Structure 1
């Protein structure tokens, strides 16, 4: 069975998985997912070398919509999306522009609910998001930064087509141990080539 990705009014859908814009009704649930626990499990894997900066709900709300307003003013796609699986919010996916001159763009993803880990949601969301950004923005590459202790993230990115472009050795400390900073990326021509291969397979099937 061929899984089809559809995009309608900036909503990206593949079967039960949806990437959509953040809405006001999402904020309370997102705030609880991010800050609801003293030591959230997700933070052990998402840049654990940086402390979780806790903010008030009002500050969280203001920052979220400030970011979305900036995207709208710059006439670019909303840079942060909710990840829904089976109608349930499970995480966020985003991008930020490192260098506007070359449109150096980096993406990030967090699946907040451990019960949804190891189900391929992150890999599929990365694939959907990368494709959307290549289609909607004049970029030549998509980048992603992680650390060598987050092997799941590295595997997911590799499955989508990201390659390790740089390994900065022993520059992150987590629980007293040194880890490498990993920079991964995918070029537009590499994405186009993978899309062509998938199209050929679908025709042949």
Structure 2
């Protein structure tokens, strides 16, 4: 089921057949580095993804597939840690198909997903984090209206080097200002 439309992408519910893409992207060292700051992607077997899929109704992560307008899966986007009291969720995204990097597909997916989250969940805030070397992601988040709110100094160890973790957020007010300009 389609949940959001952007100019370049559609976002839809995750299906059983998508697990092969999730596995491929998770096991790609370059994708894993930029998505999770993991230098050495593991060769996670498909059965692990199948177990997760079967138990996902109890998971705090709600994951969706990003696909091109011609229905090619290129990545995933998710929210987690929904806090109904403080009305906050944490956003996560990765474009797993590298030929789509740097071409606006991630930015378009974030914009569409943020619209979906504010329209369907009773939230006031979306937050995310990334590490300091992920300049492309930081710029994409800022284009979508996220603001840098803080830095956790040397909080992530990647390949023997400590990196700062950049905390970013967007409130409903921020989103409404952007939406009213368009």
Q: Which string of whole-angstrom CA distances, capped at 9 and with x for unpartnered residues, describes residues 114-146 of structure 1? A: 111000111111111111000001101000111
Choose the corresponding residue for 2:10, options 10, 14, 18. 18
The answer for the alignment partner of 1:188 in structure 2 is 172
| 1:24/1:129 CA distance change after superposition, 3 Å | same
| 2: CA distance, partners of 1:12 / 1:50 | 32
* 8 A Cα contact 2:127 2:170, kept in partner: yes
For residues 149-168 of structure 1, the C-alpha deviation after alignment (integer angstroms, 9 at most, x for no partner) is 10011000000000011111
Q: Which runs of 5+ in 1 are unaligned?
A: 1-8, 199-205
3-state SS of 1:46 partner: helix
**Partners in 2 of 1:41 and 1:51 — Cα distance?**
9
Does structure 2 conserve the Cα–Cα contact (< 8 Å) formed by 1:170 and 1:180? yes
SS at match of 1:45: helix
Q: Is the 8 A contact 2:32 2:38 kept in 1?
A: no
User: Displacement, 1:112?
Assistant: 1.0
Alignment length, in residue pairs? 181
Cα separation, partners in 2 of 1:174 and 1:32, compared to 1, 3 Å = closer
Match of 1:79, SS state, is: strand
Aligned 1:1-205 pairs, distance under 5 A: 10-35=2-27, 37=28, 40-49=29-38, 52=41, 54-67=43-56, 69-70=57-58, 79-85=62-68, 86-97=70-81, 99-198=83-182
RMSD value over aligned CA atoms? 2.2
Distance in structure 2 (CA, Å) of the matches to 1:129 and 1:194:
14
Counterpart Cα distance in 2 of 1:57 and 1:143: 30
Q: 1:80, 1:94 within 8 Å by CA — same for their partners in 2?
A: yes
Please give the secondary structure, in 2, of the residue aligned with 1:195.
Answer: helix
Residues 49, 173 of structure 1: 8 Å contact kept: no
**TM-score if structure 1 supplies the norm length?**
0.79
In the other structure, the counterpart of 1:202 is none
Distance 1:162 1:101 in 2: 22
